[in-house]
Homo-oligomer: A and B are copies of this chain.
Amino acid sequence: MSHKVYVVGIGPGDFEQMTVKAARVLKESDVIIGYTVYIDLVRDHLPGKEFLSTPMTKEADRCRMAFSEAQKGRTVSMICSGDAGVYGMAGLMYEIGAKYPDIELEIVPGVTAATAGAALLGAPLTHDFCVISLSDLLTPWALIEERLLAASKADFAVCLYNPSSKKRQDYLKKACDLMLQYKSPDTVCGIGKMIGRQGQEKELMTLERLRDTGVDMFTTVFVGNSQTKVVSGAMVTPRGYKDV
């Protein structure tokens, strides 16, 4: 008998922001596994459901937990905020899943912070863009620097995930200094905090001011390309239509 694990992106936060399919899959699952913060976002909408978790740094243990629950014959959902395939658990689930060939894996996509935050700020990502994480826990900082410079030189709009943490308070400043080598200090930027959750905030600013702005780990940062402008209080990267 073939058992199944779903890896479900629950979107930015509010239950309404997950897809209709994600909501159905969670309702049909016997057990839902995830980081406690994510479980707290869905628990009230799924009364009577069994929830399991592991601490924040124990991602691989959490994956093994999912497969071993599935081996008991249960339908399992592993939940991630945003989309499971963007800095989420989808990759690790495949890697660990290679040791559980009898378990089928299905990724259920969700709205990631890049597009949820873009919708909050206006339309910053309607042209080519890069998504870069400033976390150097799993990536050498030199590679992050190289990507920031390449993205800026080729005039991409840029969306930054994990722009700060307690141990990395000056990383956004360092990233801005790199981008300022190619992008104008007047480049339109925006930040979204607690996107799609209680306490949601947004703010537009120049790249020069972003450099000196404090952000936290719940912030997603948007840096425009050279065409990005402010329209009626929104951050807008034009696609180039001529008949506006």
Where the two chains meet, the residues of A that have a C-beta atom closer than 8 Å to any C-beta of B are 9, 11, 14-21, 23-24, 59-60, 83-88, 90-98, 101, 105, 107-112, 115-116, 118-120, 122-133, 138-139, 143-144, 146-147, 149-151, 153-156, 231-232, 234, 236-241, 243-244
Min CB–CB distance A22 → chain B (angstroms): 9
Interface of A is mostly: mixed
**Chain copies in the assembly?**
2
List, in ascending order, chain B residues with CB within 8 A of A101's CB. Answer: 232
**Contact of A126 with B19 at beta-carbon distance under 8 Å, contacts A109-B111, A119-B107 already known:** no
**CB within 8 A of A87: which of B95, B111, B116, B239?**
B239
CA distance A18 to B16 in the complex (A): 10
List, in ascending order, chain B residues with CB within 8 A of A59's CB. Answer: 241
A-B contact pairs, 25 of them (CB 8 A): A9-B115, A14-B21, A16-B24, A19-B19, A60-B244, A84-B119, A84-B123, A85-B118, A87-B127, A91-B122, A91-B237, A94-B122, A94-B234, A95-B241, A96-B244, A107-B120, A107-B122, A109-B116, A127-B139, A128-B130, A128-B139, A128-B147, A129-B130, A130-B151, A149-B154
List, in ascending order, chain B residues with CB within 8 A of A122's CB. Answer: 90-91, 94, 107
Instruction: Contact check, A20 vs B21: say whether CB atoms are below 8 A apart.
Output: no
Instruction: Contact check, B241 vs A60: say whether CB atoms are below 8 A apart.
Output: yes
